[in-house]
Structure 1
Amino acid sequence: MNKKIHIYTDGSSKGNPGPGGYGIFIETFFKNLYYRKIFYEGYRYTTNNRMELLAVITGLKKINTKYNVTVFTDSKYIVNAVEEKWIYKWNNNNFLNKKNVDLWKEFLKLFLSNSMIIHWVKSHDDNYINNYCDQLSVKASKKKKLKVDYIYEKTCRKKIFNEKKIFV
């Protein structure tokens, strides 16, 4: 039996934009063994779509194989970009007028270098691992020390200052 990896991901933000986080559950099946790893991280000012993308990117970076990978996400944003092949069109146009260009470019690089399937799961449904990832993402967004999404905050700087949401 070959190694098989499932990566479950979810992202969230409160306020969209606002504090956000992602949750990742990775399960590996190899021979008769089963391994699992859990990751989550929070950011002080971000969006739901950024956290959904960052969850998948981080999950793919955490594995040590490029084959037999299935990513489970409740993000139609990601699934449609792949299944409808929008991401290739965006890439050909250098992501002109697209949001989250930094993350889409990183995702595309990982997507093209891995043999993987992206599978959509309905959020807040009966997929207990997706629900667990949702809980992790919310937990991450409530941490006392949150990471800074520098690229997002830089692109939103004018809006942040106009709304007087100045970060220290």
Structure 2
Amino acid sequence: MAQGKVVLYTDGGCQGNPGKGSYGVVLLYKDHRKEFSAGYAFTTNNRMEIMACIAGLKALQKPSHVVLFSDSAYVINTMTKGWAKRWRANGWQRKVEGEFVPARNADLWQAMLDLCDYHEVTFVKVRGHAGIPENERCHELASLAMGQGDLLIDHGFVGG
């Protein structure tokens, strides 16, 4: 049985794309607030946007009703339009100009789908850098994480 409503704000970004990247998350539940972030030595903006969502959902210990706010059209469209589910059904292939090609970030989309099977998640698109306090805080957390000295390795990132 899912717990009460949790609100997640997420943001990810990169310096260069690919390049040094990071994400920030603000988790709100009743009168509780948790903020966290991580920085990566070499990744992509899209991977950081997805990782922010995954990190927020992983932080929840019980199945929950979640409203997840993101300024990433890539994340929102992939989840609300069923693209990730379709890619998974096609063996992580997507159709481009009539031909199947590998879906990008399949490792992260698989993790996201697994978490969405556990939690009841509603995805909401917000405009980035539009003065929404929690979204701005996520951006700030991500920027701070990117500036840390000991950045993580994105082992799932293929390319360069």
TM-score w.r.t. the length of structure 1 is 0.85
- Aligned pair count reads 150
Partner of residue 19, structure 1:
20
Rounded to whole Å, the distance in 2 between the matches of 1:148 and 1:129 is 27
Partner of residue 147, structure 2:
142
The CA deviation at 1:111 is 1.1
| Post-superposition CA distance 1:16-67 (Å, at most 9, x none) | 11100000000101xxxx0000101100000110000000001000012322
1:125 counterpart (126, 130, 149): 130
Q: Where do 1:79-158 residues align within 5 Å?
A: 79-96=76-93, 97-152=102-157, 155-156=158-159
Rounded to whole Å, the distance in 2 between the matches of 1:16 and 1:137 is 15
Q: Percent identity?
A: 35
Q: Based on CA coordinates, which of the two structures has the bigger radius of gyration?
A: 1
The CA deviation at 1:128 is 1.0
> Does residue 48 of structure 2 align to residue 43 of structure 1?
no
Structure with bigger strand share is: 2
Partner of residue 67, structure 2:
70
Greater CA drift, 78-87 or 40-49: 78-87
- SS of residue paired to 1:126: coil
- SS of residue paired to 1:131: helix
- SS of residue paired to 2:152: coil
TM-score w.r.t. the length of structure 2 is 0.89
| Post-superposition CA distance 1:106-138 (Å, at most 9, x none) | 111111221121111110002111011011111
Rounded to whole Å, the distance in 2 between the matches of 1:63 and 1:110 is 10
Rounded to whole Å, the distance in 2 between the matches of 1:38 and 1:50 is 19
RMSD: 1.2
- SS of residue paired to 1:143: coil
The CA deviation at 1:92 is 0.8
- SS of residue paired to 1:3: strand
- SS of residue paired to 2:64: coil
> Partner letter of residue 33 of structure 2?
R
List gaps (5 residues or longer) in structure 2. Answer: 94-101
- SS of residue paired to 1:110: helix
